[in-house]
Amino acid sequence: MILFGSSLFLLYALPREGVGSGTQLRWTRTLLAAAAGAVLFASLAGLVTQTSILAGSLSEGLKPDSLRAVITTMKFGPAALVRSAAAALALGLALVLQPGRTLFGTAALLGLLINASIAWMGHGAATAGPGGLLHTGADILHVLAAAVWIGALVMFLGLLRGSGREPASDAALHRALEGFGGVGSALVAVLIATGLVNSWFLVGLDHLSGLWTTGYGQLLSLKLGLFAVMLGLAAANRFRHTPALGAALQNQAGTAVPLADLRRSVLIETVVGFAVLFVVAWLGTQEPISAMS
């Protein structure tokens, strides 16, 4: 999600060149390389782990025949290979290319592919019948919208870390915060719409009580609660902290207080966002409510 969302942020939210542009942020290479390296390691480790579980032991899971069987007969095998190849390419580019639109654009495309492959092996891909395509499509859009949000939060944390030193950089940060307000509203709409589609398939109107009586439902309720917290923090950033920073810049007053408020709010929102991802990963191991009847 960082590989996709943060790279995309560098393209649409910051100036193309000059003060405050992504090309001047040397740490973006480290961020993208770390994200790509983590995906590469996790994808290969996940493939070996899943194969070992199916084969009965780690030694059996490491055998070429076992890995070949998983790759050729199960969806998560090809998906893991796609993620690994895309992550390896992104890692190589991040290590070779300087920060710029070529690196950011390529990393965003590879990140898009990686995120789509995650949905490809989720509950949506397991949905049979004509609704399978709709469910998988909703899953992919849901993951991509979440990635844009998470990637932007990580970028804002990095920008806020170095803020308060140059007025021009703070002005670029303020413009990015203002610009993301519209993007964020669109992301929330996509997340809610696709979340409703997913809930139709995984919960269903006839099993709403399962949101409180089943393990899957309780985790889903927790996810929705954390999402509501993120919405509240995002609203505070958009309607309170960002205007306060803008007023301070316009009046040439001190920006220390509004920047500190933004750092704290964005940090909490990011932590909550990663907590949502942890719950979603846990949900992926559970039997959906609709499958329990």
pLDDT at 133: 81
Domain match, 145 and 218 both: yes
32 occurs within a structural domain: yes
First to last CA, the chain: 34
185 occurs within a structural domain: yes
- Dihedral sign, CA of 13, 16, 21, 24? positive
Domain match, 109 and 205 both: no
Domain match, 67 and 170 both: no
Domain match, 180 and 274 both: yes
279 occurs within a structural domain: yes
Domain match, 49 and 160 both: no
Domain limit, last residue, from 121, 154, 181: 121
**Domain housing 98:** 1-121
245 occurs within a structural domain: yes
126 occurs within a structural domain: no
Q: What is the DSSP letter of 180?
A: H
Domain match, 188 and 266 both: yes
Domain total for the chain? 2
Domain match, 26 and 90 both: yes
Instruction: Report the candidate in 114, 146, 133, 123 with the shortest Cα–Cα distance to residue 46.
Output: 114
Domain match, 86 and 111 both: yes
Please, are residues 138 and 125 in contact by the beta-carbon 8 Å criterion?
A: no
Domain match, 106 and 141 both: no
195 occurs within a structural domain: yes
Domain match, 97 and 135 both: no
Give residue 144's identity as a one-letter amino acid code.
L
Domain match, 288 and 145 both: yes
Is 24 strand, coil or helix?
A: helix
Q: What is the DSSP letter of 116?
A: H
Domain limit, last residue, from 96, 121, 146: 121
Domain limit, last residue, from 121, 144, 168: 121
For each of the chain's 293 residues, which pLDDT tens digit applies? 999 999 999 999 988 887 778 888 889 999 999 999 999 999 999 999 989 998 889 898 889 999 988 888 887 888 889 999 999 999 999 999 999 999 999 999 999 999 998 877 665 555 656 667 888 889 999 999 999 999 999 999 999 987 556 777 888 889 999 999 899 999 999 999 999 988 888 787 676 777 787 888 889 999 999 999 999 999 999 999 999 999 998 887 788 899 999 999 999 999 999 999 999 989 888 887 766 65
Domain match, 84 and 156 both: no
Cα–Cα dist 283/169, whole Å: 40
CB atoms within 10 A of CB 19: 12
25 occurs within a structural domain: yes
- How many residues are there in the chain? 293
